Amino acid sequence: MIHLRVVAPERSAHRALELLEASPAVVNIVHLHGAARKPDGDVIVCDVAREEASVILGDLRGFGIHHDGSIAMEMIDTAMSDAARGAEKAAAGLPSDAVVWEEVEERTSESAELSLSFLAFMIISMLIAAVGVALGQPVLVIGAMVVGPEFGPIAAFCVALVARRPQLARRSIVALVVGFPAGIVVVYLATLLAQATGLAPAELTEHPRPLTAFVSHPDATSVLVAYLAGTAGILSLTSAKSGALIGVLISVTTIPAAGNVGLASAYGDWSEAGRAGLQLAINLVTIFVAGIVTLYLQRLAYLVRRRRHREDLERQAAATGDEHERDGETLGARLSP
């Protein structure tokens, strides 16, 4: 279940209250008249089945409440209520498979910021990956994959394209375009420093590296794994199964490949650097494609569900002869698409 708190002017609040009361997937509705300050208005709190959350939120935004007031959402971990169970049964589908688009957009928007912490994690993860590649230690390479924050902007860009949010798309691309080169340059300089102080091997091939050679040897398997990882990553973000994201990060070879570009460049091994760069490009492009395709299919399912929801509202309005619908404009027609 998802808990909603709506603050709205009186007129919008009554329209929202009618909408919430009409939905069988909404329970525990509480209306506090004139209780809100800054902005002034009514307060409505309720619990919504996760499967219907995005549809209900879309309706509320269609009333302009997010402009005149506010809509807040939080997840309910435990709800001991027969009414809540009834609301979940009334909503088609399973809660674990439901996509709450507002939650996804907000979560990915926070991950797309070009912040100092983002750059720090990019640089640190590439340095760890470079050490792992140089020494042939897969444990360090895996650790770098987990530390790397690059999947956040990648997912945000996919969401931005599907949800048509150009500002989010621009921020995501800027984070990636700045983050990867910055990490590669730092790895390059750090490798030169390590060579000068004798901390780095004299030659890049000094240590056998059979367990980390995949970082700079792209093939058809690289495309398959990246596509599957991209799909799993998006599913973990859009569903309630976010714990699967760690496994996804371990499957993605973006950070190790970028770190290897800086490492091989410092040694003057341009063939190795080129292959690692190709591995990086293949992974990024494939993950983008997988993410966009997955989100597009999920968005289509949501639009179908929303259309059916609006048709149900129109039928209810016609059946009850609601006085608010007698001006030739139905409730469903006033809602945002």
pLDDT score of 98 more than 90: no
- Is 324 inside any structural domain? no
pLDDT score of 324 more than 60: no
pLDDT score of 245 more than 70: no
Whichever domain contains 222, its CATH number is 1.20.1080
- Is 307 inside any structural domain? no
Distance CA 88, CA 24 (A): 9
For residue 322, give Cα distances in angstroms to 22, 62, 180, 290, 313. Answer: 12, 19, 57, 45, 11
- Both 83 and 120 in one domain: the answer is no
Q: At which residue do the structure tokens 């398997």 appear?
A: 221
Instruction: Give residue-wise pLDDT tens across range 114-151.
Output: 999 999 999 999 999 999 998 888 899 999 998 899 99
Q: Write down which residue in 36, 66, 96 finishes a domain.
A: 96
Q: Residue 214's pLDDT is what?
A: 83
Instruction: Give residue-wise pLDDT tens across range 70-82.
Output: 999 998 888 888 9
| 162/318: higher pLDDT | 162
- Both 132 and 280 in one domain: the answer is yes
Mean pLDDT for the stretch of residues 176-199: 94
Q: Write down which residue in 70, 96, 122 finishes a domain.
A: 96
Using a pLDDT cut of 90, give the percent of the chain over it.
49
Domain with 291 in it: 104-298
- Both 88 and 109 in one domain: the answer is no
Distance CA 297, CA 327 (A): 36
| Average pLDDT of the chain to the nearest whole number | 86
Mean pLDDT for the stretch of residues 279-284: 94
Q: Helices 116-135 and 166-197 sit at what angle, rounded to 10 degrees?
A: 50
Q: Write down which residue in 282, 298, 314 finishes a domain.
A: 298
Q: Residue 185's pLDDT is what?
A: 97
- Both 171 and 234 in one domain: the answer is yes
- Both 48 and 80 in one domain: the answer is yes
Q: Residue 327's pLDDT is what?
A: 45
- Is 322 inside any structural domain? no
Select from 128, 258, 123, 135 the least CA-distant residue to 203. Answer: 135
Whichever domain contains 44, its CATH number is 3.30.70
Own/partner contacts of 320-328, CB < 8 Å, gap of 24 or more, are 322/18, 324/15, 324/18
Q: Are 133 and 269 in contact (CB under 8 A)?
A: no
Q: Residue 246's pLDDT is what?
A: 59
Strands (E), 40-103: 41-48, 70-75
| Minimum mean pLDDT range among 24-33, 105-114, 185-194 | 105-114
- Both 243 and 144 in one domain: the answer is yes
Q: Residue 336's pLDDT is what?
A: 44
Q: Residue 253's pLDDT is what?
A: 84
Instruction: Give residue-wise pLDDT tens across range 59-68.
Output: 899 899 999 8
Instruction: Give residue-wise pLDDT tens across range 222-238.
Output: 899 999 989 988 888 88
- Is 305 inside any structural domain? no
pLDDT score of 329 more than 60: no
- Both 84 and 130 in one domain: the answer is no
- Is 272 inside any structural domain? yes
- Is 24 inside any structural domain? yes
Q: Residue 242's pLDDT is what?
A: 56
Q: Residue 326's pLDDT is what?
A: 46
Q: Residue 211's pLDDT is what?
A: 73
- Is 75 inside any structural domain? yes
Using a pLDDT cut of 70, give the percent of the chain over it.
88
Number of domains forming the structure of the chain: 2
Distance CA 227, CA 287 (A): 5
| Minimum mean pLDDT range among 10-14, 69-73, 101-105, 141-145 | 101-105
- Both 62 and 138 in one domain: the answer is no
- Both 112 and 35 in one domain: the answer is no
pLDDT score of 161 more than 80: yes
73 Cβ partners below 8 Å, 6+ apart?
2, 3, 4, 5, 53, 57, 100, 102, 103
- Both 30 and 154 in one domain: the answer is no
- Both 214 and 187 in one domain: the answer is yes
- Is 236 inside any structural domain? yes
- Both 15 and 113 in one domain: the answer is no
| 322/218: higher pLDDT | 218
| Minimum mean pLDDT range among 91-95, 242-246, 251-255 | 242-246
